[in-house]
Structures are given as structure tokens and as C-alpha cells.
Amino acid sequence: MTKEPTRPIPWANLLGQAWGNRFPVDVRTIALEYSTRFPDPIKTIAQAEVATFEGALYPLPKSGKWAILYNPNITSAGRINFTLAHEFGHYLCHRNRNPAGFECGEDRVLGIDSDATIRQIEQEADTFASYLLMPIDDYREQVGRSEMSLDLLGHASDRYGVSSTAAAIKWLDFTSKCAALVVATNGFVLWCWRSKAAKRRRIYFERGMPLPAASWAANPHLVASPSGLALPKNVWSSRSDAREMAIFADSYEMTISLVVFGEEEWGLN
């Protein structure tokens, strides 16, 4: 047997190749089948009524096998798929480090846990999930030369069986565009995720700041095309115009804005 990977991305690539990159990736089948090669396989994947977490990886008593549990209150199939992949990532990469298992809440995605080691482990499980469900080469092919749009984001989210948020984060991780995802509730920013180019331009939206008053997210009655709403300078950035694609989630008054920034202007204001 060849040596198995230890890191999340090589693991995701190996499994992606073994399962022929069929989309959406069937995490449940892969986790149950692949883990049978280990003495401590995943025996069951099931819903469990748990208030405090979205997903968990638990050792089963006596048998030495494992269970992946997920919260039945998660209504989106995309989020369930991502949660299962995240827990499978813990199983592959971390189960020997933490024999008591893992309980994972929504904040894992945001990396806001105060403990740096936990934060790193959670990010690794997310990286595994992201690469298993959305291989970058395939995603690049899907995008081609097109501009990002709500239709394209919807296509990616359908193809990979993930939420629009997860699909947008993945796009930000590989695009050369200057862009950011801004998630807000009741008009205030919860968190943002930036592309490399946006980090270089030091674009950042801090938790708790109000959404720009003229943004689409702050004005849900506005009608825009699938390519988004073109907004002038000084709405999302003092140095460039922007194109905002907004998604209005029913629950928690949540808005999700994918903002693509224009070229920087350095003239006098």
C-alpha cells in the first residue's frame, strides 16, 4: 500500500481522483467506503438532535469505530454536505490527535475560536471539505472567461452541492479579481472573506460596521441583473467603483454580498 497523505489538500485530491471527480461529490459513500481500509472505520453517518453544534465526529463505545453526526436543524442540503465533508476531514487528518472526537459549530468557518490550535484544526477540516467538494481545476473550467455572476455562483453551488457562501469563498480563494464576500445581519457586518488581490489592496469590512448605505444589501427593494448592481466610487470603496451581487437569506435577516471591485483611482477626490 502506498503511503497515505496526512494533510488536508493531498487527502482531498487523492479521494477526488479515486472517485472520478463526479459532482456533486457523494461524501457519505466515500467516507463509509474509504474508511473501511482502516481498523477504526466510520460506521455510521446520522442526524442527531444536538443544540450546540452543526456536526460532530465521535468514537463509538467499545467497537473502536466512529460516527459522524449532523444537526437535523440544518435545512440546506449544501450545508449538510459541507458539514459531512468537514467531519470526514477531522477523521482523516485529526482523529489520532483527539481520540475524544470533535464537535463543530458554525463559527468554525469564521475562524473566530480564541484557541489558535483549535482554529488551525478547524481550518484544516474546512480546507479538506472545500477541496474535496470543489476541486479548483474543475471550478476554473466552469468559470472560464466569464465574469462572476449570481447565475454562475448558482451553477457552482448546484454542481458542487454546497451553499452559495461556500461556493463564493472558494472562488475568492483562486480568483485574480479584487473581490470580497460580506455577510451581514440586520444591516451590520458579521464577517468578510477576501481574495488575494483584495487583501493586497487592504480592503476589509470589520465585524459590527454598518453596511454601506447605498449598497444593494442595505436596499433590498432595488432590482439588479444577475451580473449584479453597478455602484459608483465611495459606496464599497473610496478608491474604486464596485459591482455587488447580493443574496437575501430568509433566516436571521441575513444578507450575503459578493463585491467585485473596479480599478483603483488615485486622482484627487
Q: Which three cell numbers stand for residue 59?
A: 468514537
Q: How far apart (Å, rounded) are the C-alpha atoms in residues 86 and 43?
A: 17
- Which residue lies nearer to Zn ion by CB, 113 or 138? 113
Q: Which position among 125, 148, 184, 235 is part of the footprint of Zn ion (CB under 5 A)?
A: 125
Which single residue brings its beta carbon nearest to Zn ion?
A: 104
Contacts (CB under 5 A) with Zn ion, residues 81-120? 102, 104, 108
Q: Under a CB-based contact definition with an 8 Å cutoff, are residues 228 and 242 in contact?
A: no
Report residue 215 as a C-alpha cell: 449598497
Asked whether the beta carbons of 56 and 87 are under 8 A apart, the reply is yes
Alpha-carbon distance 94 to 91, whole Å? Answer: 6
Contact 28, 84 (CB under 8 A): yes
Rounded least distance, CB 65 to Zn ion, Å: 19
Burial class (CB in 10 A: 0-12, 13-18, 19+), 141: exposed
How many of the chain's residues bind Zn ion (CB under 5 A)?
Answer: 5
Which is nearer to Zn ion, 123 or 234 (by Cβ)? 123
DSSP 185-241: ETTEEEEEEE-HHHHHTT----TTPBPPTTSSTT-TT---BTTBEEE-TTSS-SS--
Per the listing, cell 451590520 goes with: 188
Q: Rounded to the nearest whole angstrom, what is the least distance from the CB of residue 122 to Zn ion in the complex?
A: 5
CB of 102 to Zn ion, least distance (A): 5
Q: Residue 48 or residue 150: which is nearer to Zn ion going by CB?
A: 48
As measured in angstroms, the least distance from the Cβ of 55 to Zn ion is: 7
CB of 86 to Zn ion, least distance (A): 5
Nearest to Zn ion of 123, 149 (CB atom): 123
Q: Which is nearer to Zn ion, 111 or 210 (CB)?
A: 111
Q: How far is the CB of 94 from Zn ion (least distance, A)?
A: 8
Name the residue nearer to Zn ion (CB basis): 124 or 244: 124
Q: Which residues bind Zn ion (CB under 5 A)?
A: 102, 104, 108, 122, 125
